[in-house]
A and B are shown apart, each in its own frame.
Chain A
Amino acid sequence: AQSVTQLDSHVSVSEGTPVLLRCNYSSSYSPSLFWYVQHPNKGLQLLLKYTSAATLVKGINGFEAEFKKSETSFHLTKPSAHMSDAAEYFCVVSGAGGGADGLTFGKGTHLIIQP
């Protein structure tokens, strides 16, 4: 079985300051991990993915995430927040072992950007 815990339901930062969205995962297999973003009334867009290559993954729009196996974490960061980053962010795990898991989503973190 696999699970994802997003440690913060809401994160508020000022424009131009760093962003940190925290994610811990649990998986019986070597996981693939993803971050998706959902803007209001829009579908989900892939920000970045980890699939057992480099542990530091760079994504779109200046986001990156670091896979830390010892901490079972996959936190999302961005050096400088922009107003357009305001959205809901989902950490997602996909197991390689099959079963009925599909993609397992965290509960989401609502990112608020203060002007």
Chain B
Amino acid sequence: KAGVTQTPRYLIKTRGQQVTLSCSPISGHRSVSWYQQTPGQGLQFLFEYFSETQRNKGNFPGRFSGRQFSNSRSEMNVSTLELGDSALYLCASSRQGALKNTEAFFGQGTRLTVV
């Protein structure tokens, strides 16, 4: 069974640009969550999508947005990139999501560097 796939693995962008990251969950999983990992702040919850609807949102500015498609694949978009957005972005898939306390499976992440 294929795991969670995140693309691309590495990305370098310039300040002010926008970026789109992609996550393909495990087959049959309807929940996709996104997390930002930085050395200073650790792992922080961005948002969760379930059946194409945003179900939960963390404390991030509106520049961070996402969506989920009918096949459960999810994209995350960051507009007007700042240096502080440099981070490892992790995607997690689960059958029901955090609200149901089901196990989350993580992808290997996308390493975003903003210069």
Q: Which A residues have a C-beta under 8 Å from some C-beta of B?
A: 32, 34, 36, 41-46, 49, 51, 90, 94, 96, 98-108
Contact = CB atoms under 8 A, between A and B. Distances in A.
Interface of B: 4, 33, 35, 42-45, 47-48, 56-59, 90, 92, 98-99, 101, 103-109
Contacts of B47: 102
Contacts, number: 59
10 contacts: A43-B108, A44-B92, A94-B101, A96-B101, A101-B56, A102-B35, A102-B48, A102-B56, A102-B58, A103-B33
B108 A42 contact: yes
A14 to B, nearest CB: 27
Given A94-B98, A105-B43, A99 B107 contact: no
Nearest to B45: A102
Contacts of B45: 100-104
A3 B104 CA distance: 18
A43 B4 contact: yes
Contacts of A96: 99, 101
